[in-house]
Amino acid sequence: MDLQILTYLMAGTTFSLYIGIALWSKASSTNEFYIAGGGVHPIANGMATAADWMSAASFISMAGIISFMGKDGSVYLMGWTGGYVLLALLLAPYLRKFGKFTVPDFIGDRYYSKIARFVAVLCLIFVSFTYIAGQMRGVGIVFSRFLEVDINTGVIIGMAIVFIYAVLGGMKGITYTQVAQYCVLIFAYMVPAIFISILITGNPIPQLGFGSKVLSEDIYLLEKLNNVLTDLGFDNYTDSTKSKIDVFCITGALMAGTAGLPHVIVRFFTVPKVRDARASAGWALLFIAILYTTAPAVSSFSRLNFINTINNSSYEKTPEWFKNWENIGLISWADKNEDGIIQYGPGNSHEPVKPIFSKQRGINGERIVSNTLTENENEIYIDRDIMVLANPEIANLPNWVIALVASGALAAALSTAAGLLLVISSSISHDLMKKIFRPSITDRQELFLARLAAAVAIGIAGIFGIYPPAFVAQVVAFAFGLAASSIFPALIMGIFSKRVNSIGAITGMISGLLFTSAYIVFFKFISPELNLPDNWLWGISPEGIGVIGMMINFISAIVISSLTEPPPDKIIRLIDDIRTPE
């Protein structure tokens, strides 16, 4: 069957499933809207957390990034999963025992301060919107490539779906649609990975195929990949090129950032008991690990396949997918030596890196770029985000697999967007309105406000999707850096210290936040030309600076607290209470 019809069919089926679930699990109180009534089974919560957490970045971009970074890409694998260990051991059980609705709830109560709550709300809104922008780009790419609709139409369809289940269903609706979305996305990720693993290595388990020999050759896959890459002038795939301190800090920032992300933390408020919170963190990581241990295998398979298919083949004979992605503008080819044959190698094929297409076509039918071509021999630009989506096509898999991958990518993007919208709406209706500005509102008014805030947030997210900010890739560093340097330390000290008081915590959050954002804004926005290892503080890139911001937060909070009054007795009792099992 035609790929487009198949994609419509699969996307349509999964979308109706999500809406059906949402209508069945509509929220009727703030309790159900914010935390799904607190009665979610740990395994269901584990799946929902996995879908909530694994975004378009995990599904679409991560394997592609690793594919081009090799061992350096490991920071994402370790950072994004290692954060769960912190979450499970240091945060989830205590925050569940605390038993309120939102992350600012905990910070506001523990530090007995509306200012602390307000600062937490600001961090939360900034982190969450940053994240949503990334999801919308993912939705846009999938819609424009596979459904061949205008990106704007695609974004509006996506928004409408999220609107129905997030605004009506609240946390309850989101939880059960996320369970379905997890099933869709993991199936969609595994099927092509298994196919390709069999094609390349003969081993049906991609995690093992990754370390196996290439079919009918007496050489290991990774060895072969190293050979192919070094022949072309690249570094070894399995060697690291970045400085150790930077890799160390990026991994640390991603871990602490993951543990401090509000939309993930809030999922642990939805289970009945403390022991369920612990168990569901375990289930969540297990479900996540299925994808995360497959991703590096997919990375190596797709890099090898890509080189084998493209390098030294004539443009005219390249497969359809190459031209399709070129038409969307995510691949470009500039025939530098005018031989009609594609040469791939290290370095950027042109400056600036992203292609700017003119209206003309070259003699081979390729799109002509108006960028300045570089001196090196590389003629190819390929956007890293397309590797996972193009992978099944590169490997010549049947159309239904390609359609499945498209539906999986949509599930990953929509589930994360919904989770984020919910924490934004609850922080506005609950933390800002109910707890700070208008304490007199009733439960029903609060619920209405929550729905209204969700609807407005979807509107803003939609604008991000239709006018995608060019800085999406840069702001991702921001989201993790900020979560690591503001929310994470405040939560940790709130649980593990009885001495840190409100003034200490507020100073800590603000100083961590200011330091980290100043560093990132300087290198990413004000003077991007200076963004080089020589200019960095101790050789730490903006992606890893959250770790230093986190240290600043911890140190200033502890120093200021020790110089001022300890927290009142009722706070000490609160801490004792969250530390004791039920």
| Binding residues vs other proteins (CB under 8 A) | 66, 71, 74, 77-78, 81-82, 84-86, 88-90, 93, 207, 210-213, 220-223, 238-240, 244, 247-248, 251-252, 255, 275, 278-279, 281-282, 285-286, 289, 292-293, 296, 576, 579-581
Query: By C-beta, is 76 or 325 nearer to other proteins?
Result: 76
Q: How far is the CB of 239 from other proteins (least distance, A)?
A: 8
> DSSP characters for 272-307?
SSHHHHHHHHHHHHHHHHHHHHHHHHHHHHHHHHHH
Query: By C-beta, is 112 or 220 nearer to other proteins?
Result: 220
Q: Are 529 and 496 in contact (CB under 8 A)?
A: no
Q: How far is the CB of 93 from other proteins (least distance, A)?
A: 7
- The Cβ of residue 187 has, within 10 Å, a number of other Cβ atoms equal to 13
Amino acid identity of 525? F
Q: How far is the CB of 313 from other proteins (least distance, A)?
A: 27
Of 251, 276, 252, the residue nearest 48 (C-alpha) = 276
Burial class (CB in 10 A: 0-12, 13-18, 19+), 184: buried
Query: By C-beta, is 211 or 346 nearer to other proteins?
Result: 211
Q: Are 233 and 345 in contact (CB under 8 A)?
A: yes
Q: How far is the CB of 90 from other proteins (least distance, A)?
A: 7
> DSSP characters for 225-260?
HHHHHHHHTPPPTTS--S-HHHHHHHHHHHHHHHHT
Query: By C-beta, is 52 or 393 nearer to other proteins?
Result: 52
Query: By C-beta, is 46 or 158 nearer to other proteins?
Result: 46
Q: How far is the CB of 36 from other proteins (least distance, A)?
A: 22
Amino acid identity of 524? K
SS3 letters for 522-576? HHHHHCHHHCCHHHCHHHCCCCCCHHHHHHHHHHHHHHHHHHCCCCCHHHHHHHH
Q: How far is the CB of 409 from other proteins (least distance, A)?
A: 22
Q: How far is the CB of 378 from other proteins (least distance, A)?
A: 25
Query: By C-beta, is 167 or 291 nearer to other proteins?
Result: 291
Of 417, 441, 416, 420, the residue nearest 431 (C-alpha) = 441
Query: By C-beta, is 236 or 445 nearer to other proteins?
Result: 236
Query: By C-beta, is 83 or 138 nearer to other proteins?
Result: 83
- The Cβ of residue 402 has, within 10 Å, a number of other Cβ atoms equal to 22
CB contact set of 338 (below 8 Å; sequence gap of 6+)? none
Query: By C-beta, is 74 or 113 nearer to other proteins?
Result: 74
Q: How far is the CB of 516 from other proteins (least distance, A)?
A: 20
Q: In this structure, what DSSP letter does residue 168 have?
A: I
Query: If phi over 0 gives left and psi between -120 and 50 gives alpha, with beta otherwise, what is residue 211?
Result: alpha
CB contact set of 472 (below 8 Å; sequence gap of 6+)? 133, 134, 137
Give the whole-angstrom CA distance, residue 268 versus residue 95.
Answer: 8
Query: By C-beta, is 212 or 309 nearer to other proteins?
Result: 212
Q: How far is the CB of 201 from other proteins (least distance, A)?
A: 9
Q: How far is the CB of 89 from other proteins (least distance, A)?
A: 5
- The Cβ of residue 208 has, within 10 Å, a number of other Cβ atoms equal to 12
Determine the 3-state secondary structure of 333 from DSSP: strand
